[in-house]
A and B are shown apart, each in its own frame.
Chain A
Amino acid sequence: MTTEAGSETEVKEKAEESAAQPDQSETAKPESQEVANVEGGEKEKGKEKEKEGKEGKGITRYLPTWFKKQKSQTSPTKEVPATEEPVSKGVEGEEEPAPEVNGHAEEVEEKEEVKSEEVKEATQPESDSNASADTEPAKEEKVEDATAKSPEKTKDTAVGEGAEEEKKKEPEGHVEAETDGGESQTSIFQSPLRLVRKNKMKVVVCHVTLLDGTDFTCEVEQKRAKGQYLFFKVCEHLNLLEKDYFGLTYKDNHDEKCWLDPTKEIKRQIRSNNWQFAFGVKFYPPDPSQLTEDITRYLLCLQLREDVASGRLPCSFVTHALLGSYTLQAELGDHEPDQPRPLDFISQLTFAPNQNKEMEEKILELHKSHRGMTPAQADLQFLENAKKLSMYGVDLHHAKDSEGVDIMLGVCANGLLVYKDRLRINRFAWPKILKISYKRNNFYIKIRPGETEQFESTVGFKLQNHRSAKRLWKVCVENHSFFRLNAPEPPTKARFLTLGSKFRYSGRTQAQTRLASSLIDRPAPSFERTSSKRISRSLDGAPVISITEAGSETAENGRDHRLELHSDSKAEEVDLSPADVEAIPSQQQSPGRAEPALSQDLDKTQDEVLKHQASISQLKRSFMEAPPPSPPQPNQWEKRLTSSPATIRVQQHQVVSVPQTEAASADNASSETKEPAKTTEVEIEETVVIQEVSRAPKPGVVTVTADPTAAPPAEHEPQDQKVKVEEEAALAEVEDVSPMKPEKASSDSESEEEAEYHPNVPASISQSQIPEEKEEEEQMKEEEEEQQQASAPVVPSLPAEVSQPAEETSQEEEEEESKKEEMEVEEKKDDQEEKESGRETEDSTDDPMVTPEEAPEGLMVPEESAEAGPTEDLEQPKMNGEASLVEVDPRPQVICCSEPPVVKTEMVTISDTFAAQKTEIATKEVPIVHTETKTITYEAAQLDGNSDGEPGVLMTAQTITSESLCTTTTTHITKTLKGGLSETRIEKRIVITGDCDIDHDQALAQAIKEAKEQHPDMSVTRVVVHKETELAEEED
């Protein structure tokens, strides 16, 4: 059963992928079931595409996940679906997929519920069902892997191409399965039917209350529309370009106002059928005069008038009067002395909670003094006064201190304020806060030690309940990111395992939005100011001129779901080919595999990009997948676990080589229990960070870190021009990853009730850009990371695996070629252990996972080696062929490590240039972060550089912000004297952050290309792609 089921699921996944990339749909796999599944998947994909086309935006992204989920779910019932699907496949192709999509959506809903309750649990049961076949029940990931493996095996026997397709599909499916986790079971049963019917998208009407009190209605796809879609619709309606300060709120079941997460499906967030939203200011700009457009200020004014009138923003009598007078001036213009009505009219307006005649007279009096002031000026004056209010932009939350005293916690641009009644009794500026976390109804902040203090302290507050704590935590994370960071922190590095939320701020930071705003080039839009009555008068006057917005909106919509995209991309990658190697979670570093994979991956990725540009997601997938050649099943597992896509790709490759696939299947079975968890993790992934680290011990090393989410074009400048992709290594790595995945799964299983956030270290971005932030903590973190890294290689734990494989590959490469690039795909899963034990636990988890796979080779990474060995050989040829396209000379080794999704990752990145591997940070408290992190490292054989921790010289740091993407490129140059030879290492880190899809493949290819062009005399020794995706957060 399991194998079949797994195959089916995989097939479905593959099908999805293939559907996404119809052209790519390679040969159908020989396996009847698998084929059927695959076909179904393709159909689904096609449907999805159709849906996408219909919806035009993010919906499609959602679909893939759904499909995947369904597939995974359906896998148990494989037989039926398979038969149906195959038929449909041939004819329906794309059309049929749509229905499937619907089915998926339904499933998703179900899944959502399940997940919401307990993702882990759900995944486990599912996995059990699936696992029954595999032997290990628990996790979906495992199931998926198993399925993938089985398909692969069959594929091997049958047609290689088909296998590839399946593989691609599988990854997607895995991703979906992961996300859906709990749902998968239900979906499995229902899937066939659902698939058929779901072509139609249910549309629901959303009501959005605007700031002027009018109601905006908008139709959205009920199941898959993400918050972003609706938000952009609203912004479009408002003709608002500087929209990053705003957001949508909804009332949860407890009638508490929550911010709609743009990256997640609306349906999953509102939890009820109440599609009522409110548009409002989410981040109050500390200096409104810096806003570019009057319309933005006007909207801010509307919000503040509401805040003032409701008492949310307390102010004195005089201030009430003054603000009211500016409001009158803005809305009525100059005071007309002959108008008899003034007082009567004013009394109809609400300026203050305790408005009285005296105040109204004062308002009138002041209004007279504003004669000649234009509405825009009046608004600006209003804001200039309002911004000075001490409670301006402070979001208050009820809490109790450690002694049970009622207090208020205020989150604002500068930090966290503590109030008792109206008195400010404490304040924690963002720079002072090292970590923000919550556990159950407790909210914690870790404080940087003061000058006279030696140790950091943690302050705890008690919130009313878990929901409150989480909400506060999210607000803190978002405010910190928006106001404090230059670029949003990539969603935690693989915190899949962790219980805590992987939630991260996904939008643009204030710095970014300011930059973007400065580029706004349009005539000031005309808009009507509504009377303060805010009754029925609408701003509708504003013609929707927003050119940029419209474009961005559409783009965003299309891109909306990073997660999905990623998942898709992964799957696609698998299909696409060897090129995927990049994405591949290079688990094992068997040199042969890795190198070819890298080269292939790169080339393929580019090709794929060209082909699939239409389907961005596919491209992304391809990145992830690049390394697929590695051992089949294990890779798949790994991929699923950590960065599903990469693994998936690997699997495909593996499929090609029968023996490998078999081995993988076995591995999968063993690891299955954990895999489900992994799958969940995959879902979680919302942010993709691509870090390319080129370590050229001899010449310069170029490290490119790109956050996939944001910037598609990542520029990697590998010093060593020779990029050797060791496919074998990659395969091996992939296998390793799989073991890692189980760990992740375990972590995932952990409750969601906790989450951590390390504000100071905004991941990779911060490193280069914000040196200031490096402080004691960072150092400590770095140290930790280093330690972890060091330990990692030795230890079978994921990180260790990664490093080890890389080394091995490097050695091999060295023997073969002086310069080789190792591709390491590190998937880090954070154990969600709440406590410090996190690291240990992670390791332990990793170990267990590894063990199953390790058996054969028994070296550092027994699993990897074992699997890699056979598979690599088989695969290598294929991989190489594919890989050959890649410019990289050497064999890239792909190492997949699952990194613990600890928020602390931030620290890691900052710490070292080579942080990519180090990224793992043990999290003491296990926050569940809905983020997946994939790290792919291509590393040349030369490992010399590894030893040096020499601080490079920060040569350049450049940030390019576009509408939806932020690309930050930092270059470190390190010169070392070794035995008289001077070695120059250039490490280039490209961080791409964005809320839309990023074409990883393209970015990676671009980066490598640029690196070569810029440094023709150097070789690319190491390319690390670190991908972080923020997964849909599971609602409480």
Chain B
Amino acid sequence: MANMCPYGRFTHAVVRGIPETFGKTAGEGRENGEVTVDQAKAQRQFGCLTGALRQKVGLQLIEIPPDPELPESWRVEDVAVIQGDTALITRPFKQQRRSEADAVRRVMSELNLTVVEMGDEQGDSGGATLEGSDVLFTGREFFVGISSHTNRRGAEVLADTFRDFAVSTVPVCGGARLKNFCSMGGPDTIIISNGDGAKKTLRMMEQLTDHHYDVLTVPEESAANCIYVRGPSKRDFLLHRPAEECPDSVSAFQKLPDYTLLPTACSEASKLGASLSSLCLLVNRKHTYF
């Protein structure tokens, strides 16, 4: 498959800065409205993350300036699903987040990615919602978590966009988003927490897949979300939560052979229901056709 290569080969990372409205509930039903967050700390953590991606991992970083009007715009993962040279601009569950896509769309175009829109409210995709943090792409297939933010219609649009791949839907039991408790830890490795809900989701994924994945189980849910990149230097990098945030899970990452572990704090974003991977979009502009 033209688009099929082992997971983790990225060349670019797209992030968006932390606005001063970070943590401010923008609209009705804000899930984290009562949480107090340290915006300055969040910005420091964000800086650590981007620094690691750029300097340690070696990715080209594209940083979209923050927009105070969009308090959640830093969660760029939600607004696009990128595979190969195609970027699907998603339709987040919250109406007020949908304008976040504009800036991302521009960046995608600048990267020469084929931009696919989910479409308006009308039409076939009417009512479809999809957020990137509910999409786990393994390099071989997609798992779409059906959650409070992503529905089946949204998954169908994704399946229609990435036709080369199997797109399986799995229930999200453990958290608000699929990737809150799982992520890719390598080309064939899934990191997942050992919570009951996560186990249930994992069983479903195992049932649905034609492939075999190694599973790395971590005791803390938030630790299961990592960023794996096989950088230009052909080394394996894993950004994970530091021991201060997930003391019990760090040892599990030691098992990964020849990995460069990059502890990256994410406590403030995590308070808002986000994860490490929520903060960036990873792109591979060097995929070949052979």
Knowing A316-B163, A318-B2, A389-B164, the reply to whether A425 touches B84 (Cβ < 8 A) is no
Q: Which residues of A contact B86 (CB under 8 A)?
A: 316-318
* Pair B168/A422 contact, Cβ less than 8 Å: no
Looking across the interface, which residue of chain B has its beta carbon closest to that of A326?
B289
A628 to B155, CA, bound (A): 66
Interface pick from B61-69, B206-214, B226-234: B206-214
* Pair A423/B167 contact, Cβ less than 8 Å: yes
* Pair A423/B159 contact, Cβ less than 8 Å: yes
Looking across the interface, which residue of chain B has its beta carbon closest to that of A369?
B289
Q: Which residues of B contact A425 (CB under 8 A)?
A: 168-169, 208
* Pair A316/B168 contact, Cβ less than 8 Å: no
A426 to B168, CA, bound (A): 8
* Pair A422/B208 contact, Cβ less than 8 Å: no
* Pair A318/B159 contact, Cβ less than 8 Å: no
Q: Which residues of A contact B84 (CB under 8 A)?
A: 316, 318
Knowing A381-B290, A422-B159, the reply to whether A318 touches B167 (Cβ < 8 A) is no
Q: Of residues 383 to 424 in A, which have CB atoms within 8 Å of B's CB atoms?
A: 385, 388-390, 414, 420-424
B 153-175 binary contact with A (CB < 8 Å = 1; else 0): 00110011111111111000000
A852 CB, nearest partner CB in chain B, Å: 52
Taking a contact as CB atoms closer than 8 A, the residue among A321, A388, A421 that contacts B156 in the complex is A421
A307 CB, nearest partner CB in chain B, Å: 13
Residue B260 CB within 8 A of the other chain: no
B149 CB, nearest partner CB in chain A, Å: 17
Q: Which residues of A contact B161 (CB under 8 A)?
A: 316
A414 to B1, CA, bound (A): 19
A319 to B4, CA, bound (A): 10
Looking across the interface, which residue of chain A has its beta carbon closest to that of B208?
A427
Q: Which residues of B contact A385 (CB under 8 A)?
A: 1-2, 4
Residue B60 CB within 8 A of the other chain: no
Taking a contact as CB atoms closer than 8 A, the residue among B165, B207, B289 that contacts A390 in the complex is B165
Residue B152 CB within 8 A of the other chain: yes
Residue B141 CB within 8 A of the other chain: yes
Residue A677 CB within 8 A of the other chain: no
A943 to B170, CA, bound (A): 56
* Pair A424/B2 contact, Cβ less than 8 Å: no
Looking across the interface, which residue of chain A has its beta carbon closest to that of B287?
A318
A315 to B1, CA, bound (A): 9
Looking across the interface, which residue of chain B has its beta carbon closest to that of A388?
B1
Taking a contact as CB atoms closer than 8 A, the residue among B167, B168, B169, B289 that contacts A322 in the complex is B289
A374 CB, nearest partner CB in chain B, Å: 15
Sort chain A's interface into a size bin: 20 to 34
* Pair A317/B114 contact, Cβ less than 8 Å: yes
Residue A952 CB within 8 A of the other chain: no
Q: Which residues of A contact B159 (CB under 8 A)?
A: 421-423
B115 CB, nearest partner CB in chain A, Å: 12
Knowing A422-B156, A422-B167, A423-B155, the reply to whether A322 touches B208 (Cβ < 8 A) is no
Given A322-B289, A422-B160, A423-B152, 19 additional A-B pairs, CB 8 A: A315-B164, A316-B3, A317-B86, A318-B3, A318-B86, A318-B289, A319-B3, A322-B2, A366-B289, A385-B2, A385-B4, A421-B156, A421-B159, A422-B159, A423-B156, A423-B167, A423-B169, A424-B169, A425-B168
Knowing A317-B114, A385-B1, A388-B4, the reply to whether A424 touches B166 (Cβ < 8 A) is yes
Residue B85 CB within 8 A of the other chain: yes
With most chain A CB atoms within 10 A of its CB, the pick from B144, B162, B164, B209 is B164
A321 to B289, CA, bound (A): 10
Q: Which residues of A contact B4 (CB under 8 A)?
A: 385, 388
B207 CB, nearest partner CB in chain A, Å: 6
Q: Write the residues of chain A forming the contact surface with B, with a CB cutoff of 8 angstroms.
A: 314-319, 321-322, 366, 369, 381, 385, 388-390, 414, 420-427, 450
Q: Of residues 251 to 290 in B, which have CB atoms within 8 Å of A's CB atoms?
A: 289-290
B85 CB, nearest partner CB in chain A, Å: 6
B247 CB, nearest partner CB in chain A, Å: 30
> 7 A-B residue contacts at CB 8 Å?
A316-B3, A317-B114, A319-B163, A322-B2, A423-B152, A425-B168, A426-B207
Q: Which residues of B contact A420 (CB under 8 A)?
A: 152
Looking across the interface, which residue of chain B has its beta carbon closest to that of A415?
B210
- Chain B interface mostly: mixed
A390 to B164, CA, bound (A): 6
B273 CB, nearest partner CB in chain A, Å: 25
* Pair B209/A427 contact, Cβ less than 8 Å: yes
* Pair B208/A426 contact, Cβ less than 8 Å: yes
A414 to B212, CA, bound (A): 13
Q: Which residues of B contact A319 (CB under 8 A)?
A: 1-3, 163-164
A765 to B138, CA, bound (A): 38
* Pair A314/B166 contact, Cβ less than 8 Å: no
A426 to B85, CA, bound (A): 28
The 6 A-B residue pairs with the shortest CB-CB distance, nearest first, are A422-B159, A390-B166, A388-B1, A424-B168, A314-B163, A322-B2
Looking across the interface, which residue of chain B has its beta carbon closest to that of A314?
B163
Q: Of residues 210 to 254 in B, which have CB atoms within 8 Å of A's CB atoms?
A: 210
A427 to B210, CA, bound (A): 9
Q: Which residues of A contact B165 (CB under 8 A)?
A: 390
A424 to B204, CA, bound (A): 11
* Pair B155/A316 contact, Cβ less than 8 Å: no
A988 to B167, CA, bound (A): 48
B221 CB, nearest partner CB in chain A, Å: 21
A97 CB, nearest partner CB in chain B, Å: 54
Q: Which residues of A contact B203 (CB under 8 A)?
A: 450
Q: Which residues of B contact A426 (CB under 8 A)?
A: 207-208
A381 to B166, CA, bound (A): 21
A389 to B141, CA, bound (A): 10
Q: Which residues of B contact A366 (CB under 8 A)?
A: 289
B 128-154 binary contact with A (CB < 8 Å = 1; else 0): 000000000000010010000000100
Q: Which residues of A contact B209 (CB under 8 A)?
A: 427
Q: Which residues of B contact A422 (CB under 8 A)?
A: 156, 159-160, 163, 167
* Pair B207/A389 contact, Cβ less than 8 Å: no
Q: Which residues of A contact B168 (CB under 8 A)?
A: 423-425, 427
Q: Which residues of A contact B162 (CB under 8 A)?
A: 316
B 64-91 binary contact with A (CB < 8 Å = 1; else 0): 0000000000000000000011100000
A321 to B210, CA, bound (A): 26
A385 to B4, CA, bound (A): 9
Q: Of residues 96 to 115 in B, which have CB atoms within 8 Å of A's CB atoms?
A: 114
Q: Which residues of B contact A424 (CB under 8 A)?
A: 166-169, 208
A450 to B203, CA, bound (A): 10
A321 to B144, CA, bound (A): 27
A736 CB, nearest partner CB in chain B, Å: 47
Q: Which residues of A contact B2 (CB under 8 A)?
A: 316, 318-319, 321-322, 385
Q: Which residues of A contact B85 (CB under 8 A)?
A: 318
Q: Which residues of B contact A321 (CB under 8 A)?
A: 2
B154 CB, nearest partner CB in chain A, Å: 10
* Pair A315/B163 contact, Cβ less than 8 Å: yes
Looking across the interface, which residue of chain B has its beta carbon closest to that of A384?
B1
A923 CB, nearest partner CB in chain B, Å: 28
Knowing A316-B3, A316-B163, the reply to whether A390 touches B141 (Cβ < 8 A) is yes
Q: Which residues of B contact A314 (CB under 8 A)?
A: 163
Q: Which residues of A contact B1 (CB under 8 A)?
A: 319, 385, 388-389
Looking across the interface, which residue of chain A has its beta carbon closest to that of B156?
A421
A991 to B220, CA, bound (A): 54
With most chain B CB atoms within 10 A of its CB, the pick from A318, A322, A426 is A318
A317 to B3, CA, bound (A): 10
A316 to B1, CA, bound (A): 10
Looking across the interface, which residue of chain B has its beta carbon closest to that of A323?
B2
